[in-house]
Amino acid sequence: MESTLELEATAYVTGQLPRYDRPQIALAGRSNVGKSSLINALAGRKKLARVSAQPGKTRSVNFYHVLPQDFYLVDLPGYGYARASHEERRQWATTLEAYIGGDHHLRALVLLLDCRLPPQRLDLDLAAFAASRALPVVPVLTKADKCTQREREARRKEWLERLGTAPIVTSAARRQGMEKLWRALDAAALGTREG
């Protein structure tokens, strides 16, 4: 049976974060990394998550209920968008840290990484923050269709050396890597073995 995603809650400030008694997987990445497109590709729907040409559009924490597995995929606001005000960036950081640091049902952090860019300081900082919380990191390279095979392989090696885990290579546009990513999500949320 195929997995489905349903948007169940949206929080703009820390006090609005819902408390669900189910496993959760956080989804984080820089602005313009393709988070919304990836969520839509996972869901097999075009408009579940709003996609914008303007980076930094997702400013809320969105809770997607994954069925039939019964866990939550939690879309965190994108970070690193230069045009955001200092106050907006501070608010995003506070919300991100409050969620990652405070929810006991959080099983892993899916860290989305743009295949076109070498390792970035903000991504490395977030991976280190997750590690400091003993939170497993699932690295995912996005926008693989915009890179050559050689570039993708170079990027995979760079991240493998930095994180000790090879990233899953994906392309939302081509639906590349979705089955492998679903297996990783299920394994992280439910403790099942990746096949």
Q: What local confidence, expressed as pLDDT, does residue 138 receive?
A: 97
Q: What local confidence, expressed as pLDDT, does residue 194 receive?
A: 56
Considering the domain delimited by 4-190, tell me its CATH architecture: 3-Layer(aba) Sandwich (3.40)
User: For residue 136, is the peptide bond before it cis, meaning its omega torsion is within 30 degrees of 0?
Assistant: no
Neighbours of 145 (CB within 10 A): 13
Indicate the angle between helix axes 121-132 and 86-102, nearest 10 degrees: 30
Give the pLDDT of the chain (195 residues) as one tens digit per residue: 588 999 999 988 778 888 899 999 999 999 889 999 999 999 998 888 876 555 555 578 899 999 999 999 999 988 776 566 777 767 777 777 788 877 679 999 999 999 999 999 989 999 998 999 899 999 999 999 999 999 999 999 999 999 999 999 999 999 999 999 999 999 999 986 554
Q: Are 64 and 72 in contact (CB under 8 A)?
A: yes
Rounded CA gap, 77 and 92, in Å? 7
pTM comes to: 0.90
Q: What local confidence, expressed as pLDDT, does residue 14 receive?
A: 78
